[in-house]
Each structure stands twice: as C-alpha cells, then as structure tokens.
Amino acid sequence: VQLQASGGGLVHIGGSLKLSCAASGFRLDYFAINWFRQAPGKEREGISCISSSDNSTYYANSVKGRFTISRDNAKNTVYLQMNGLKPDDTAVYYCATGELLRRCGASGPSTYESDYWGQGTQVTVSG
C-alpha cells in the first residue's frame, strides 16, 4: 500500500498548483482521502477530504473557496487544485488515508485515522 503525492513547486502569490495523490497496491475509490499540510514550526493541519461513496468533501476555513479536491478513479488518483495561493499556503503537503476511513469527518481530517501517508510535496508561495 503506497501513496505518492506530487505536483508541488514554487509559485507566485495568486498562482495555482494542482497536487496529485496516486495510489499503488490498493484502490483509492474504496477510501476517503485526506490532505494535510505542515509549515515549518507549525502543527500539521488537515485541510481537505473527499469521501469514498458519495465524494462528499470537506475544506478547512483556511482553504475554502480556493482549493478543490477531486478524484479520478480510472487513474486511481486524488487531486487538490489550489488557486489563489498565498504565502501562508507555503508548506509540505501530504495525502493520507486510513484502513477504516470511508467518509470525511465532520471536523475534517484527523491524523489518528490516517494509517497510510504519501511522502509529501513542497509548495512554496513567494511574493
């Protein structure tokens, strides 16, 4: 079971990036998928989630209206489209899922329910 996050990079304020979370060894559509991020010196923040059955979504207030999570089951991949990027979005972004994770929690992603993690992809937003 492996997750691989990719798509990070350096972007100017207001720019866009699309992160990908690809799975190998299992079908992503069976699981809810979380996105977290961690900035230097800060706690890991759960920012988005997509459920497995109905593709319902969750967004943290910090990204709501700017980020969009989606999945492509044919490619076994979940995406995080990030628009209107700000310097505060600078962080390492991780995708994750859990053995029992099928639906997004009402309060968003939890590290406790995330058993499998991608390696992280760096997003840097500069002025």
Q: Which regions in the chain score pLDDT beneath 50?
A: none
- Residue type present at position 116: Y
- What was the pLDDT predicted at 1? 76
The residue written with tokens 């979370």 in the block is 21
How far is residue 47's CA from residue 20's CA, in Å, rounded to a whole number?
Answer: 15
pLDDT at 12: 97
At residue 58, the pLDDT reads: 97
| pLDDT value of position 127 | 82
Q: In Å, how far are 59, 60, 127 from 3, measured between CA atoms?
A: 21, 22, 31
